[in-house]
């Protein structure tokens, strides 16, 4: 199959026409014959792209076009198709440097437009015959030069070949395998400069563009993004979703979640209101089936404010009785304020250790310095990190206060790092319950890696290099791809086709549990009201809910 696919792609061989006149006029019996000539004869000389069509508003017996057919009589024209060389058009004039605004991304490829005048007109007559007017000379460039192939757009047959395989859900890796030449084909290409394998013209960006075009076709329900989003909302309601989120309403997933993570990521799509970047907020919870994070609720907004987040959470609370017990976030005051407004003190807020350490590291680099040189400054900063780690990972509240007093004496009185001490005293000591393990011993994880992992999956796997998507593309991705993939992943674990993910700590606990003899393990089980089992294991009691 692989060989046949490549043979279908074939070779490109530029041929210069030998016409005596710069403009050739001839007729063919129908439109199919014209396209056969265009793709097999005209395209051997240069690439032509469609540049629109024209259909008269009204065709009457008194309306004739000015073209003379090959039999010397006038015919009425149904439609005229226009094709131009892919080098047609003038390059845009560059503005003065002072008028140019700095671009986030500079263009590296020069324009291929050289104002080429070569073109083809196909006039479809009333009897369905076609009159062709062919301006075949390319005065401003030479399409037969193989250096032009790099600049030119892909031939139509190559585009069709790529689209055909993209429709089969093939990605660049699988398509690249099909483009690989055999040793015989390589030798022929090396020894014969008159023809070039079309497979050499295809690169990753061509396939990526075809994939993006397919996704756009699937996700766009209307030309205007806002109208498309409203149509998506209508469809989601019919499919028993709650609008503004992507939750299957019959399962009440969010209603059952007690411990969740919330975070936002930017540069996923553009707002249809002002063309600015939107933020995608996600609620992620630990999936008990896969033991991994699973996105369960979403909000797309162009304003990241406490009012917006609180409106979303209030809506969730009312719509699906979303009342979690614990919410882990990064150090965002916006999210803290929104959670407090909606849930007051009924929800416990925890801060991600990774984000806290990142904030601490910035402050330490700025304020913790030794007057004796760089080497001593590095050592002093290492001490600061070690002391903060002791505070963060302390598992007893009384011990924390002891460590805090030692921290104050050391960094305020002995080390003289007053700004660093004031920062910790004002910013972090008052909310120690949000980050110290002594107040969060029952929590099974201390970073929001679940939501960070989700963001990485979204941007690397689902969106790829696309960073300017429409909102309807994000909705399509979340509903038609993400949800299905995560539910399918859970089914694979359920039926044993995939193993449940275990963290390093959980693997160690499982390893230690497997060392216990069966008779010893049975003696360690205590039933309480036929519901709760208490296991006395190596590192202390484990309480397991059974039933």
What confidence tens digit (pLDDT) does each residue in 272-326 have?
888 788 999 999 998 888 888 899 889 999 888 999 999 999 998 988 888 899 9
pLDDT higher than threshold 60 for residue 73: no
Is 469 found in the same domain as 377? no
- pLDDT band at residue 69, thresholds of 50, 70 and 90? very low
Q: How confident is the model at residue 101 (pLDDT cuts 50, 70, 90)?
A: low
Q: Is residue 441 part of a domain?
A: no
pLDDT for 399: 94
For residue 528, give both structure tokens.
């309480």
Task: Give the residue with greater pLDDT, 537 vs 298.
Answer: 298
Mean pLDDT of 324-338: 92
Of 100-114, 304-318, 438-452, which one has max mean pLDDT? 304-318
pLDDT of residue 238: 85
- Do 394 and 317 have their domain in common? no
Q: Measured in whole angstroms, how far is the alpha carbon of residue 108 from the centre of its chain?
A: 23
CB-based burial label for 135 (10 Å; 0-12, 13-18, 19+) = middle
Q: Are residues 314 and 409 in the same domain?
A: no
The helix/strand/coil state of 328 is: strand
Region 209-213: mean pLDDT is 86
Q: What is the pLDDT at residue 545?
A: 43
- Statement to judge: residues 451 and 338 lie in one domain: yes
Q: What is the mean pLDDT of residues 358-371?
A: 92
3-state class percentages of the chain: helix first, strand second, coil last, to nearest 5: 45, 20, 35
124 lies in which domain range?
17-91+108-143
- Helices 172-179 and 2-9: crossing angle in degrees, nearest 10, is 80
> Average pLDDT for residues 101-119, to the nearest whole number?
73
Burial of 48 (0-12, 13-18, 19+ CB in 10 A): buried
pLDDT value at 446 more than 70: yes
Assess whether pLDDT exceeds 80 at residue 394. yes
* Total number of domains constituting the chain: 4
pLDDT of 508 higher than 60: yes
What band does 387 get if pLDDT is binned at 50, 70 and 90?
A: very high
Predicted pLDDT of residue 338? 94
365 vs 10, higher pLDDT: 365
Q: Is 466 helix (H, G, I), strand (E, B) or coil?
A: coil
The values of phi and psi at residue 303, to 5°, are: -130, 120
In this structure, the answer to whether residues 346 and 379 fall within a common structural domain is: no
For residue 105, name the pLDDT band (cuts at 50, 70, 90).
low
Residue 332 in domain: yes
Nearest to 293 by CA among 332, 259, 331, 251: 259
Q: Where a domain ends, among 434, 459, 476?
A: 434
- Residues 340, 457, single domain; the answer is yes
Phi, psi of 138 (to 5 degrees): -110, 90
In a domain, 191, yes or no: no
**In terms of domains, do 26 and 129 share one?**
yes
For tokens 């497997």, name the residue.
514
- The yes-or-no verdict on residue 543 having pLDDT over 50 is no
Q: Is 272 a domain residue?
A: yes
* 12 membership: H or E segment, kind and range: strand 11-12
How would DSSP label each residue in 157-183?
HHHHHHHHHHTTT--HHHHHHHHPPPH
Is 390 part of any domain? yes
When computed from its CA atoms, the radius of gyration of the chain, rounded to whole angstroms, is 33
pLDDT at 364 > cutoff 90 = yes
Residue 101 within a domain = no
CA 525, chain centre distance (Å): 48
Nearest to 296 by CA among 459, 478, 69, 137: 478
293 and 416 belong to one structural domain = no
Does the residue 179 lie in any domain? no
| CATH classification at residue 282 | 3.30.420.10
pLDDT of residue 241: 75
Alpha helices by DSSP H, 142-259: 147-151, 156-166, 172-179, 183-191, 204-219, 225-238, 253-256
- Looking at residue 405, its pLDDT comes to 94
Task: Tell whether the model's pLDDT for residue 541 goes beyond 50.
Answer: no
Q: How confident is the model at residue 68 (pLDDT cuts 50, 70, 90)?
A: very low
- Output 465 or 429, whichever has higher pLDDT: 429
**Same-domain check for residues 25 and 64:** yes
The token pair at 380 is 């002093």
The pLDDT assigned to 6 comes to: 47
Q: Taking 80 as the threshold, does the pLDDT of residue 479 lie above it?
A: yes
- Per-residue pLDDT at 253: 55
pLDDT for residue 224 is more than 50: yes
**What torsion, rounded to 10 degrees, do the Cα atoms 463, 205, 10, 153 define?**
130
Contacts of 2 (CB under 8 A, 6+ apart): 177, 178
Q: Are residues 290 and 408 in the same domain?
A: no
- pLDDT value for 245: 43
Same domain? For 359 and 348 the reply is no
Neighbour-count burial for 523-541, b at 16+ CB within 10 Å, e otherwise: eeeeeeeeeebeeeeeeee
* Lowest mean pLDDT segment, chosen from 61-75, 405-419, 463-477: 61-75
pLDDT over 90 for what percent of the chain? 34
Residue 225 lies in a domain: no
Q: What is the pLDDT of residues 251-271, one digit of tens each?
A: 455 556 678 899 999 888 888
> Which residues sit opposite 534 in a β-bridge?
526, 543
Query: pLDDT at residue 233 above 90?
Result: no
* Same domain? 465 vs 401: no
């Amino acid at each position: 199959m692989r060989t046949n696919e490549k043979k279908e792609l074939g070779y490109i061989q530029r041929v210069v026409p030998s016409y005596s006149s710069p403009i050739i006029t001839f007729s063919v019996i129908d439109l199919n014959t014209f396209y056969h000539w265009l793709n097999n004869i005209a395209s051997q000389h240069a690439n032509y792209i469609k540049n629109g069509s024209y259909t008269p508003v009204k065709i009457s017996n008194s309306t004739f076009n000015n073209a003379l057919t090959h039999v010397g009589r006038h015919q009425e024209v149904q439609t005229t198709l226009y094709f131009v060389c892919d080098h047609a058009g003038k390059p845009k004039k560059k503005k003065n440097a002072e008028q140019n605004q700095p671009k986030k991304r500079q263009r590296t490829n020069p324009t291929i437009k050289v104002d080429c005048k070569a073109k083809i007109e196909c006039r479809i007559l009333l009897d369905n015959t076609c009159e062709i007017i062919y301006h075949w000379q390319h005065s401003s460039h030479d399409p037969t030069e193989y250096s032009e192939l790099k600049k030119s757009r892909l031939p139509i047959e190559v585009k069709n070949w790529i689209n055909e395989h993209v429709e089969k859900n093939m990605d660049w890796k699988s398509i690249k395998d099909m483009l690989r030449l055999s040793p015989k084909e390589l030798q022929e290409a090396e020894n014969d400069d008159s023809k070039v394998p079309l497979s050499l013209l295809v690169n990753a960006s061509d396939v990526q563009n075809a994939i993006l075009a397919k996704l756009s076709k699937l996700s766009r329900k209307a030309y205007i993004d806002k109208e498309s989003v409203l149509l998506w909302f209508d469809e989601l309601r019919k499919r028993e979703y709650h609008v503004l989120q992507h939750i299957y309403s019959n399962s009440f997933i969010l209603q059952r979640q007690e411990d969740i993570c919330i975070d936002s990521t930017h540069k996923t799509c553009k707002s249809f209101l002002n063309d600015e970047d939107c933020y995608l907020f996600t609620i992620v919870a630990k999936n008990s089936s896969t033991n991994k994070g699973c996105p369960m609720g979403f909000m797309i907004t162009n304003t990241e404010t406490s009012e917006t987040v609180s409106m979303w959470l209030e809506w969730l609370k009312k719509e699906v009785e979303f009342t979690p017990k614990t919410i882990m976030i990064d150090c965002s005051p916006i999210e803290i304020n929104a959670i407090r407004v909606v849930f007051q003190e009924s929800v416990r807020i925890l801060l991600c250790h990774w984000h806290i350490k990142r904030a601490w590291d910035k402050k330490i680099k700025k304020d913790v310095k030794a007057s004796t040189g760089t080497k001593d400054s590095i050592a002093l900063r290492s001490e600061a990190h070690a002391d903060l780690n002791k505070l963060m990972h302390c598992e007893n509240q009384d011990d924390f206060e002891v460590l805090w007093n030692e921290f104050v004496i050391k960094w305020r009185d002995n080390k003289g790092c007053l700004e660093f001490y004031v920062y910790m005293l004002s910013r972090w000591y008052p909310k120690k319950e949000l980050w110290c393990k002594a107040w969060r011993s029952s929590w099974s994880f201390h970073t929001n890696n679940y939501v960070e992992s989700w963001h990485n999956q979204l941007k690397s796997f689902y969106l790829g290099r696309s960073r300017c998507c429409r909102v309807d593309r994000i909705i399509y991705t979340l509903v038609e791809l993400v949800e299905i993939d995560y539910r399918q992943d859970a089914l694979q674990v359920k039926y044993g086709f995939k193993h449940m993910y275990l963290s390093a700590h959980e693997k160690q606990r499982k390893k230690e549990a497997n060392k216990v003899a069966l008779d010893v393990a049975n003696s360690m089980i205590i039933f309480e009201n036929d519901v709760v089992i208490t296991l006395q294991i190596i590192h202390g009691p484990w309480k397991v809910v059974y039933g």
